[in-house]
Structure 1
Amino acid sequence: METMNRKRRSFTPEFKKEAARLVIDTGRTIKAVADEIGVKPQTLGRWVEAERQATQPAKRRTVEELEAENAR
């Protein structure tokens, strides 16, 4: 049985952010950007989702929502 001795690649947080911004800011597809930078589309998709979550403003809740939560 042959073993695979492939090293796992690691990427800096800056690289991940810049790659995600390429998709978000330019509107290009995840696949197109992934092919260009040499990563798997699934990997880049996770980075894009993380960047979108990180840059979304926090949802502000109304007083009514807070009171209902406190009542529970």
Structure 2
Amino acid sequence: MENMRKKPRPRRSFTPEFKTEIVDLCQRGDRSVGQVAKDFDLTETAVREWVRQAEARRRWQRRPQGEVIFHSDRGCQYTSGSYAQLARELGVRLSVGRRGSAGTTRWPSRSSRR
């Protein structure tokens, strides 16, 4: 029996315009990344990488000038390590309130409810 292995496909290169069009198709929402990759005979890994790179470029293009401070409560989503890492990468300073200081979310006193 002959060797059943597929020959490796030669490496292809794509223009930035083509990659942008593929990313736009993925982000439109009517087709999955896998479906777009299949339709254009691309690997799903390559398409996902193009989408990731486009999102990173978009984040850096939208960067505000000056210091950005994000203030939040002490919810677990705001105090996680991965959230702090993303904030550092984006140059955002995190700020959390003191423990137990509900401030604006206090229940009204009995006298004000009458």
TM-score, scaled to structure 1: 0.68
Identity %: 28
Cα RMSD (Å)? 2.1
Aligned residue runs from structure 1 range 8-27, under 5 A: 8-27=11-30
In structure 2, stretches of 5+ residues that fail to align are 1-6, 70-92, 94-114
Q: Which runs of 4+ in 1 moved over 3 A?
A: none
Of stretches 15-24 and 4-13 in structure 1, the one that deviates more from structure 2 is: 4-13
TM-score by length of 2: 0.45
Larger gyration radius, structure 1 or structure 2: 2
Q: Is the alpha carbon distance of 1:6 and 1:25 closer, same or farther for their aligned partners in structure 2, counting shifts above 3 Å?
A: closer
More strand by share: 2
Point out which structure has higher relative CO (alpha carbons under 8 A, 6+ apart).
1
Question: Higher helix fraction: Structure 1 or Structure 2?
Answer: 1
User: Which of 32, 46, 61 is the aligned partner of 2:68?
Assistant: 61
Any stretches of 5+ residues in structure 1 without a counterpart? Answer: 66-72
The number of equivalent residue pairs is 60
